[in-house]
Amino acid sequence: MEIWINPACSKCRSALTLLDAEGAAYTVRRYLEDVPSPDEIRAVLDRLGLEPWDITRTQEAEAKELGLKEWPREAGSRDRWIEALAGHPKLIQRPIITADDGTAVVARTDEAVRDALGR
């Protein structure tokens, strides 16, 4: 499995601690440094079963500067949202775990991390 993290994020650190405690094999992707491409974001969204606005941190200063709260949340705007996430990776909700079975979870809780471990 792979986990997208921001090392400064307490939820990310908690997820890593739980993965380590469970002896999980995983790869860390520091997505602010190793920025996912639009295609990688699309693939993760497909695995999550979510839309880009569902994993966007709309309270970040960059989101406010872009005016994301006013952007339409509809299929025709999907690519615009994905491009914004690729161009401003700080806006991507974290951590995200991609499981070996092809699924993914936004692992902000211990329960979500355990869910990923059970896949």
Catalytic (active site) residue 9: yes
Q: Out of 2, 9, 60, 99, which one is annotated catalytic?
A: 9
Comparing CA positions, the residue from 33, 73, 35, 27 lying closest to residue 53 is 73
Cβ-contact 48, 36 below 8 angstroms: no
Cα 13 to chain centroid, rounded: 14
Three-state SS for 73?
Answer: coil
> Could you give the residue numbers annotated as active site?
9
